[in-house]
Structure 1
Amino acid sequence: MTAVLSPETLGRCRAQVQPQLRAAVDRLDPATRDVTSYHLGWTEADGTPRAAGGGKAVRPTLALLSAELAGADCSVGLPGAVAVELVHNFSLLHDDVMDHDHERRHRRTVWSLWGVPCAILTGDALQGLAQEVVLDSGSPHAAAAARCLNAATAELIRGQVADLAFERRASITLDECFDMVAGKTGSLLGASCAIGAVLTGAPPELVAALDAHGRHLGTAFQLVDDLLGIWGDPATTGKPVLADLRARKKSLPVTRALAADGSAAAELGRWYATDPAGDTEPDLHRAADLVAATGARAWAEATAEEELDRAAAVLEDLPLPPEPHADLLELGRWLTRREC
C-alpha cells in the first residue's frame, strides 16, 4: 500500500474550522475545556500551549466540501464541520476507555491521565456541544442538520455496542462485521459528507447521494485502518505494533481470515481462543502471518479499493461543481492509501 501526500484541501479546511472549533470549546466549563484542549492537542497536560496538534480534520473537511458540492460557499457548512469533529472526538474519548488504550496520537490518553470518569464526562460534553453548535448556527436548516447528526451518532453508538459484543463471542460472520463498521465508522463519515449540504437546504437526492458516498468511504477507511492495526508502523499509527492482534480484535481482515478454509485459518482460530496475557512477540507475528496466509490481507486491500470505487460511483450522474468534486475524490484516495 503506497502513501500519497495529504490533499491541500485538508489544510485549507482545517484552517477555517480551527477558530470555530476553539470558540465552541470555549463554551465548556473550565475543567472540561482544559481536558478537551489537551485531547485536541492544543495544550500539554499542565495547560502549556502547543504550537500544533489535533487530528487531520477529515470529517470537517468533508462537511465543508459538502456545502460546496451543494453550490454554496463552504462557510455555510462550518457549524456542521465543527459538530462532526466534536462527535468524532466524543467517540475517541470513549473508545480509549473501552479499549484501555494509553496512547493516542503519540500522547497519553485522557483517561490514563485523569481517570475514566473524566474521559466519559468530557466525551459526553462534546456530544452535547455538537448539537448546540448546529442548533445555534442560525441556519434555517439547523433542525434538519441536527437530526442528521443525531441519527449518525445513534448509529455510531450502535456500531460500538456491536463491536464490544463481538469481543465476547467466539465467532462472528463477515456480514455482521460489515454491519458493525457501517455503524461505527460509516455513519459519521456519511453524515460528514451530507451535513454541509443539509445546511444549504440541498435537495434530498443530493443529500442521500453524499451520505452514501461517505458510508462507502467509511468502509474503505475502516479496512485500511484494520490493516494498519496489524501491519502499521507505530511511528505513523501511534499504536503499538500488532495492536489489534494483541487485543484480539475481530476486525474485517481477521474475520475474513477466520472464516477461510485451510490450516492457516484453523491455527489462527485456535490462537484467537488463547489468553492474550501469554502472548509473545513471535506469537503475534505468527498470527499476522496467518491472517496474510489466508488471503485476508490482500482481500482487505482489494475490498477497500472496491468501496472507494462505489463511493465515486454514487456521485457520477450528479451535476456537481467540478473543483469540490475533484477534492472529495482526492481525499478518498488519500484516506485509502495511508502507509502500512
Structure 2
Amino acid sequence: MTTAGGTRTRTATGAGTAAEPPGDAGPETWLRHAREVTDPVLREAVGTLHPRARTVAGYHLGWWDAQGRPVSAGWGKAVRPALVLLAARAAGARPGTAGSSAAAVQLAHDSSLLHDDIIDRDATRRHRPAAWRVFGLAGALLAGDAMLALAVSLVREDGRGTPAGAVLNDAVQQFIGGQFEDIGFEERADVSLTECTTMAARKTGALMGAACRLGALAGGADETRATGLDAFGRSLGLAFQHVDDLLGIWGDPGATGKPAGADLHARKKSLPVVAALSSGTPEAAELAALYTRDPSLDDAEALRRAAALAERAGGRRRSADLARRHLSEALDHLDGTGLPRPGTRPLRTLAHWLAGRDH
C-alpha cells in the first residue's frame, strides 16, 4: 500500500526483516534497528486512517510536512519499540518477532504526546512546530484518538490476542490517570515527591513496563519472566523520567528539541522541581514564589533564576541520584528473571544509556 508520503510499505507480517545487530552492539545501534523494524509497520497502519487523521499523524511522526510532502524529521528515539523487540529477544524469540507490538506501543506513546502538547500548549515537538500549532486543536486531538484506537487493533497482530490487548489497555488507563494527576499538580503548591513519583510511574513507567511485557508475551515467556520484564521496564521508566525532567530544565535545546527551561516556563511540577520545593531551604521558598502564576517567570532571566534556585535547593542532584537508584532497581528486576545474560545484554546496554543520556 502507499502512504500519503508516497512510500510503498510492507505488511505487518513482513516486518522485522532488517538484519539484527550483534548482541554487543551499542544502544544507538539497537534504537536504529528498532526504527528500521517498526517504521514499515507504522506506515502501513497509519495509511489506514482517515486522510485527515493520516496527514496529522504522519506529520507528527516526521514523515511529511503539513502538505504531505515527504521529509525525514523522524519519530523520536524509538525507546519503547526497542524495549518490545529486545524483551522478545531476551525471551528467546527469533529476530523480527513483535514488530506489530512495537508499532502499537509507539502509536500509543505518540497519541499521548499529541494530547500532552495540547494540554501543555507546547509549541514545538522534535524540532518542529507541534501538530496542534499546524493543524489546530481539533485536528491534533482527533488524530491522537485515531492513533490510540489503531494501537489497540495493531497490538493483537503478534499472535497473543486478548492478553496483549489487555496489557496495552491497562497501560493506557494508567498513563491517562497519570496525566490527570499531572494536571492537578499545577493547581497545588504542596505536591510531595512521593506523589510526583507515583504520577511518573503511571504516566511513563506503565507504558515502558507494558512494552517489555508485550515483548515477553511475543517471545513466549512464562508469567514469572513476563512480570519480571514488566517490572524492569517500569523502574527504567522512572529513571528515564527523572532524566527527561532534568533535560527539560538544564538540557541543550539543540539536542532536546524543546526551548530552554520549557518545563519551568510551563510551571510544571516535574521531579527535580518537586525535589527542590520539598527541600525546606530558602531557595525552595523563593522558587515556590516564582512558581505562582506571576508572569515574571515568562522572561529568560526569570527562567535562569528559577533553574539556579532549583539546583541550589538540591533538586538537580536529588533527581539525578534517584535516576541512578531506579536504574539499579531495573537491573535487579532483570537479573531476577533468570534469563540468560547474553540475551539480556542489549536491554542492559540500553538501560544504562537511557539513564545517562543528554538528549
TM-score of Structure 1 vs Structure 2, range by shorter chain? over 0.9
Determine what percentage of the aligned residue pairs are the same residue: 46
1:302 alignment partner, one of 321, 336, 342: 321
What number of residue pairs does the alignment pair up? 334
In structure 2, the residue matched to 1:254 is 273
Greater shift in the superposed pair: 199-208 or 102-111: 199-208
* Amino acid of the structure 1 residue aligned with 2:263: D
After the TM superposition, which residues 111-126 of structure 1 pair with which residues of structure 2 at under 5 Å, given as runs? Answer: 111-126=132-147
Distance 1:324 1:25, change over 3 A: farther
1:276 aligns with 2:295: yes
1:84 aligns with 2:116: no
- 1-side partners of 2:127 and 2:28: how far apart? 23
Greater shift in the superposed pair: 306-315 or 278-287: 278-287
In structure 2, the residue matched to 1:320 is 339
In structure 1, the residue matched to 2:237 is 218
- For residue 54 of structure 1, report the CA deviation from its aligned partner: 1.6
- For residue 322 of structure 1, report the CA deviation from its aligned partner: 3.4
In structure 1, the residue matched to 2:63 is 42
CA-to-partner distance for each residue in 1:287-330, whole Å, 9 max, x for gaps?
11111111111111111011101100012143324344111111
- 2-side partners of 1:191 and 1:252: how far apart? 22
CA-to-partner distance for each residue in 1:246-290, whole Å, 9 max, x for gaps?
111111111111111221111111221241356332221111111
Secondary structure, in 3 states, of the residue corresponding to 1:172?
coil
- 2-side partners of 1:42 and 1:34: how far apart? 9
CA-to-partner distance for each residue in 1:215-255, whole Å, 9 max, x for gaps?
11110011001111111111011111111111111111111
* Amino acid of the structure 2 residue aligned with 1:97: I
CA-to-partner distance for each residue in 1:155-213, whole Å, 9 max, x for gaps?
01000000001111122111110110011100001001110112334211111111110
Deviating above 6 A after TM superposition, structure 1's stretches of 4 or more consecutive aligned residues are none
- 2-side partners of 1:316 and 1:277: how far apart? 49
2:183 alignment partner, one of 161, 164, 173: 164
* Amino acid of the structure 1 residue aligned with 2:259: P
**Which stretches in structure 2 are left out of the alignment for 5+ residues?**
1-25
* Amino acid of the structure 1 residue aligned with 2:295: P
Distance 1:74 1:290, change over 3 A: same
Contact 1:148 1:191 in 2 (8 A): yes
Distance 1:57 1:324, change over 3 A: farther
In structure 1, the residue matched to 2:119 is 98
- For residue 131 of structure 1, report the CA deviation from its aligned partner: 1.0
Distance 1:74 1:148, change over 3 A: farther
Distance 1:278 1:221, change over 3 A: closer
1:10 alignment partner, one of 22, 26, 31: 31
Larger RCO (CA under 8 A, 6+ residues apart): 1
- TM-score with structure 2 length normalisation? 0.90
In structure 1, the residue matched to 2:83 is 62
